[in-house]
Amino acid sequence: MDTILRIKDFSLSFKGKKILDNINMSVSKGEILAVVGESGSGKSMLARSVLGLNSPDVFDIKGKIFFDDRDINSLPEKELTKIRGAKIGMVFQEPLSYLNPVIKMASQLTEPLNKHKKINKRKAAQLMEDFLRKLNINDPLQYMKSYPHQLSGGMAQRGVIAMNSSCEPELIIADEPTSSIDVIVQYSIIKLIKDLARLQGTSVIFITHDLQLAAKIADRVAVISKGRIVEEGDVQEVLKNPRTNETAQLLNACIAERAQETGVKRKALLEIRDLRMHFKSGNNINRALDGVSLTVYEGETLGILGESGCGKSTLSRIITRIQRPTSGKVLFEGTDIFSIKDYSKIVQMIFQDSITSMNPQMRIEDIVAEGIDILYGKSRQERTKDVIECLKRVGLDKSIKDRFPHQLSGGQRQRVGIARALITNPKILICDEPTSYLDTVSQKHMLDLFMKLKNEINLTYIFITHNIRILGNISDRIAVMHKGRIVEIGTRDEIVFNPVHPYTKMLIDASIKDEDYFAESLFQTDDSACNSCGCKYHALCKRAAEKCRQESPALISIEGEHFVACHLF
Amino acid sequence: MLFSIKTTVRTVLKSKLAWAGAVILIVIAVMAIAAPAFSPFDGYSHDTDSIFLKPMSKGHWFGTDEFGRDLFVRVWQGARISLAIGILAAIIQMVIGTLYGGMSGLFGGTVDEVMMRLADALYSIPDLILVVLITMAMGNSCFSVILALSVTGWTSTARVVRGQTLMLKEMDFVRAAKAFGAGRWYIMFKHILPNCRGQILVSLMLNVPSAVFAESTLSFLGLGIKPPDASWGTLVNEGFKYSNITYHPWVIFLPLFFIAITMISLNILGDEFKKALDSKH
């Protein structure tokens, strides 16, 4: 097979610090190579080097990168612009930040065709529309007329992939294109890249921190750690027999089976009864929560699984009393939470984005001590003592307390968030997607910390995330939410290995199984709201019966503690 | 979003323009404080033998006015009053504007709408009319002028702070504080206002020149500081009334020049701070 890209003894340094160290890699025509590594390993810098985006004035470059037998680093800028976009395409992570927000999609998508192939704008737009239709975008005309912020992340990425493929490049580099996107859309995008690659014979370099994701799309994988390639080979081989520690670590962060603890008679701590939250905007009512009922038992880890928009954040806000529900009750040990005086000491929350969840003007000590400042009045020394103790509990050194949030790494900030929540010795901890901004290895460390705390202080967790792998690792029970309702709830093994509701099945399949389940899925992913009185999903579900259209299903028990809301059972 | 005084000042000091503005202001401030004390003339006593002397004659560096009073001393005494009024008025505007905007943004909903419409209404009334009414009611003292200026100029600060508040309200660290049971005032003073420090400072820096100008206009029209006390505006007023622009131009143009150069310097400095803040976002 032809080699279209060959990286030979390539090293990149910045001010003496080595970012990439002696990289040797090659990509053949038509193959999909995954580059997997944790954050900071150098994978993005590698991608930029292939495109010649790292200027030799700023970086020390050694070695060669041969594309089509020409050394990228020796080419003048003029030649490079002819290659970028036309021969090598690149897809970045966050579509809303690299698409120009004030230019319509039509102009942006047709730019490569226009500049490289000199096709006039109208013809290019026509070509792109046809292309978009092939990529399952229902209304290409509307899409082209939209601005980037009017599209969802998944839709925008599809457009960008189409744009990249329009000039039929030989190589596409995708740098974590799906990291900030939900699991189902993620799957459809990977499938898209894979299909395009097969269709046009394009090679793909797929950069990610997720080894399991790499396994779904790639033929070969190269594992990169601290700027070096530590392992390389056929993707299934590497998954089954990792040869290095780093690979094993990446693999470890994926799901594993765990022995289920036997059910002990437990006390119900939190009881949520028919919670509803409606937001009115003009004539539309947004039913963020539409009748959620749930019980949380002492000492358990309840996972709440759902994609963005399902209502899980609203739920967490109501439970922590940040927001009041439109109707319904939440009881803690029998009493309505809005009438308990020191409720804030009992239930605390950890947020998703560690940057925005901390006041950038405050020092870590003050951030962690906020709970004490508001709820108790302690002396200076006692306060500092409590803060140091909390920091120690989450594995942070006490010297951190004098720093500011921007001086810490993502993992450290999240730990500070946990310390802040723990300072009042709460009984229940709500974790709202605490790991979604971390790479897989940091995620594993975070989960280990949660388990340790659970064992030490007997904390009860409500863990909200869209990542099934994480729930599989730590939860005892899982509740699946979709569009404001709980569609299925059961023990962790039941949900992960024996899902019953069509929506749950689709979620599990999309992230765990290797087979091509997406084509046969029972649901179509559609963003349209479905607010009629029957089962909310009757328009989307392929197995919907007449009864589904008329009657909304309640949660019924299948077996023991496994409940599902569906008429088919 | 992080506002650190050190880095902002460092960025500002990189600009030559900012240096120029800062130096001019420092010189004016120093002269305003020190100059009248070191001059042999006192700026009040009339000297009929020395009326309308040209600048740099007989020891009068800026010349004399219609009553023979030394203009050098009068200009720097005027500087004291103009600058003091300008700075005080700007500070009061900042306090009122910040509290008003912060409360409006924090309460949100109908309260916010009503408060903002009231501010808009106040903004749409011509400042001069309000100021004239207030000074007519309360007399021509420094105090009434400062009060009048403060009452009309706070709306721009309020708008800026309200905008920031609306954005900061949705941040997770405010939610975290609410999860601890924090009340509105705690959130405003501990979380929101500290994160508006940059905008508030810029607003303050740009309010000073407008206050100086407003006061000068007032005094020029005879509605502000009355002689023999004089602010720069009053000096221009007197120059206008008593001197002939062809024969004794310096009496009018000297105070005018200082008003202009103070305002330009303040505006330049304020702009540089604004640019320094914006460039970090």
Determine which of A361, A363, A413 to mutate to test the interface with B (most B C-beta atoms within 10 Å).
A361
Q: What percent of chain A has pLDDT over 70?
A: 86
Instruction: Note whether A508 and A487 are within 8 A (CB).
Output: no
Nearest chain B alpha carbon to A376: B180
Partner-chain residue, chosen from B1, B2, B177, that has the shortest CB–CB distance to A370: B177
Determine which of A338, A366, A370, A422 to mutate to test the interface with B (most B C-beta atoms within 10 Å).
A370
Nearest to A163 by CA among A149, A148, A150, A176: A148
Query: Which one has a higher pLDDT value, A420 or A533?
Result: A420
Provide CATH code, domain A31-54+75-251. Answer: 3.40.50.300
Nearest chain B alpha carbon to A345: B180
Q: What percent of chain A has pLDDT over 90?
A: 11
User: What residues contact A158, with CB distance under 8 A and at least 6 apart?
Assistant: A132, A135, A136, A137, A189, A192
Residues A550-564 have a mean pLDDT of: 64
What's domain B9-40+65-280's superfamily in CATH? MetI-like (1.10.3720.10)
Nearest to A477 by CA among A465, A463, A466, A458: A463
| Stretches in chain B below the pLDDT threshold 50 | 1, 281
Domain boundaries, chain A: 31-54+75-251, 268-362+417-564
Instruction: List b or e across A423-449, with b for residues whose CB sees 16 or more CB atoms inside 10 angstroms.
Output: bbebbbbbbbbbbebbbbbbbbbbbeb
Give A1's pLDDT tier (boundaries 50, 70, 90): low
Nearest chain A alpha carbon to B3: A361
Determine which of B7, B173, B201 to mutate to test the interface with A (most A C-beta atoms within 10 Å).
B173
Q: How many contacts does A have with B, using Cβ atoms within 8 A?
A: 64
Asked if A374's CB is within 8 angstroms of B177's CB, the reply is: yes
pLDDT tens string A47-96 = 888 888 888 878 888 888 888 888 888 888 888 888 887 888 888 877 77
Nearest chain A alpha carbon to B174: A357
Partner-chain residue, chosen from A347, A348, A353, that has the shortest CB–CB distance to B172: A353
What is the least distance, in Å, from the CA of B270 to any CA of chain A? 22
Helix, strand, coil shares of chain B as percentages rounded to 5?
Answer: 75, 0, 20
A31-54+75-251 and A268-362+417-564 agree in CATH topology = yes
pLDDT tens string B96-111 = 999 999 999 999 889 9
What is the least distance, in Å, from the CA of B160 to any CA of chain A? 19
Asked if B180's CB is within 8 angstroms of A375's CB, the reply is: yes
Partner-chain residue, chosen from A356, A404, A406, that has the shortest CB–CB distance to B172: A356
Q: Which of these CATH numbers, 1.10.357.10, 3.40.50.10790, 3.40.50.300, 3.30.56.10, describes A268-362+417-564?
A: 3.40.50.300
pLDDT tens string A479-494 = 998 888 888 888 888 8
Asked if A351's CB is within 8 angstroms of B195's CB, the reply is: no
pLDDT number for residue A111: 87
User: What residues contact A467, with CB distance under 8 A and at least 6 apart?
Assistant: A183, A435, A436, A511
Instruction: Note whether B236 and B220 are within 8 A (CB).
Output: yes
pLDDT tens string A496-522 = 877 777 778 778 777 665 444 444 444
Q: Which of A330-334, A533-537, B91-95, B105-109 ranks highest by mean pLDDT?
A: B91-95
Asked if B182's CB is within 8 angstroms of A361's CB, the reply is: no
Asked if A351's CB is within 8 angstroms of B3's CB, the reply is: no
User: What residues contact B203, with CB distance under 8 A and at least 6 apart?
Assistant: B94, B97, B156, B157, B160, B161
Query: Which one has a higher pLDDT value, A363 or A241?
Result: A363
Asked if B171's CB is within 8 angstroms of A351's CB, the reply is: no
This prediction's pTM: 0.69
Asked if A321's CB is within 8 angstroms of B194's CB, the reply is: no
Asked if A359's CB is within 8 angstroms of B172's CB, the reply is: no
Residues A195-213 have a mean pLDDT of: 85
